[in-house]
Each structure stands twice: as structure tokens, then as C-alpha cells.
Amino acid sequence: MRLALTVVVRDEADIVGAQIAYHLAAGVDVVLATDHDSRDGTTEILEEYERQGVLRLFRERGPIREEAWRTSMARRAATEHGADWVINTDADEFWVPHGGTLAEVLGAVPDRFGIVWGVSRHFVPRPDDGRSFAERMTARIAQQAPLNDPTGPYRPHAKAAHRADPDIDVLHGAHLVSSATLEPLHGWHPADVLHFPFRSVAQYERKTVRRARGDKPLGQYVKGMHASEAGEVEVAYAAIAADDLELERGLAAGSLVVDTRLRDALRALGEGRPLDTPAADPTLPIDASAWRDADVVRLARRLDGLAVRVDRLEGLRAVG
């Protein structure tokens, strides 16, 4: 069983080294990385892994073409790197298997199925006290409803992994894949995807402004861009972060839970110890249900938007 991981990266020097090291220890055999014009030291980190022979690096500049890059890497994993399975990630995502290694849990998927999803678990920013993101950010959102606020950074979603396929298409930030031959397996999730989207005020501002002005003007990024333009980035960041008091309140209310799986894994790597098998997470069914419900909400919104466009078109035809 050979497992490949693909990742699209730009200016993620504070996290990308840990992301690659973790996945290699968790069962990944080879990493394919597309670096999109990084300027903060990310490229040098990727080049070091390339020299070690565990990463293949692709360099891109200009407008972002995320779906094309992800698709190309996933296809190369199948045709040039002998992969059996491919996990598609961002630099701020960590696939934590439910028992064993990633290769073992994916290898247990019945032969008739070829696409599975890991449910994303969003970690909230904590005050920057000089420690690494994983040491500080050990509290995550406990999804209690299918939240789908377009301006919110913690909407329920999932990321796809799939059997190697030379004709695969990786879509929508790797939340979906399209294959003529692979059958999806719904309702069973071999891993959690621990997600650390915002880790400091500076990183929050850089990321939201870049994405809002670039390929992904989602509400959460536009909100950050507007805050940057108004000189209110710290206020916007505080609204999605948790200080000690907010952490205490969130834990008491059940809207936050403590999750130290990544912290513990990175500590083990730093000490030269193998990764432990994390205990089963009893909140997974709730988060998975929230994700599926949120997808229904998102579909309804798309249909509503389509209906509005059709009505406008019919109105134009009537006038004409």
C-alpha cells in the first residue's frame, strides 16, 4: 500500500514543516507540493524535504489555478509515483486516522469503494505567547448545528481522499473529487482532518486579504480584507479567537472541546517517539451530521440563487 499526499501552499512557513513531518510519520510515503509564489521561507522548507527524497516540488506563479494544480498532482501520484491512495490537503490540515496509520485505515476500505472523506475539525486561535500553533491551539469548535454563515471561518465541511486514478478531477479545494470509475463511500470516515486556518493576527490578515483579492472571495476572507482596509484587523481576529475567559465559557457551554491529538503527535516526533494511536472521538458523529446538514443548506442556497438568475433571464426575454 503506497500513500501519496498532495498540498497547495503559499506563505505557510509557520505550519508547513510540521504538516509534512506529521503525515510522513502517520503513513504517507510521498508528498507532492505546489508552492504558489511563497515569500516567507515556505519554499526553503519544501526544498529541504525535496532534498530528502520524500517530496516532489512544483513551483507556480501568477494567478492561482488551485483545481488544476490539485488535479495534476493527484494524477501524477497515480501515474508517476505508484500511489494506491491519495490524500489532498492544505498546509493547515492534518489527517488523523481513527486507529492505526493512514495507510492502514485507507487500506481497510472495501475494494468496491474508492472515495472517502475526513471530517474537518476547526481549531480556534489562542493568544500568541511565543509557543508553536500546536502547543497553543488545543481547543476546537464542537459543531452543534449545521452552521453555514458565509462569513464564518468554522463552517462544517470535509476533505476527500481517493484511490489513485489517472483521470481524477479534484474540485472545490479538495472537498470533492470526480471520477468515472471510483465509487464513493458515504457515512464512514477513516480520519479526522484537524484544521488550523488562522494562527496569528499577521497570518490572518495576510491570508484573508490574499484570498479575498485572489481566487476565493468568500465572505470570511472579504470580512478580513475589509477589516484590514479599515485598520481593524485585531478586532476582527479577536472575534474568531478565544482568550482564556472565552475558552472557559466555551468549554462550559460545550461549544468548544479540548483536543490535544496534534500537539501530542508533534511532541512525540520531536522526542523521536512513534505516534500513538489516538482514542476514538465520541463527537465525530455529531460533527459529521452537521457537515451533511450544512451541505443541504449550501445546496438550497445555490438552488435559490439559480432560481433568481432564471427569473431574471425570463424577465429579460419578456422585455425583449
| Domain definitions of the chain by residue range | 3-195, 201-240
* Residue range 140-166: mean pLDDT, rounded: 80
CATH topology (fold) of 3-195: Spore Coat Polysaccharide Biosynthesis Protein SpsA; Chain A (3.90.550)
Distance CA 16, CA 92 (A): 7
Mean pLDDT score of the chain: 87
pLDDT of residue 303: 47
* Residue range 208-231: mean pLDDT, rounded: 85
Distance CA 199, CA 317 (A): 50
Q: How confident is the model at residue 316 (pLDDT cuts 50, 70, 90)?
A: low
Cβ proximity of 258 and 139 under 8 Å: yes
Give percent of the chain with pLDDT exceeding 90: 70
pLDDT of residue 296: 40
* Residue range 60-68: mean pLDDT, rounded: 92
* Residue range 52-68: mean pLDDT, rounded: 94
Q: How confident is the model at residue 99 (pLDDT cuts 50, 70, 90)?
A: confident
Q: How confident is the model at residue 278 (pLDDT cuts 50, 70, 90)?
A: low
| 299: pLDDT strictly greater than 80 | no
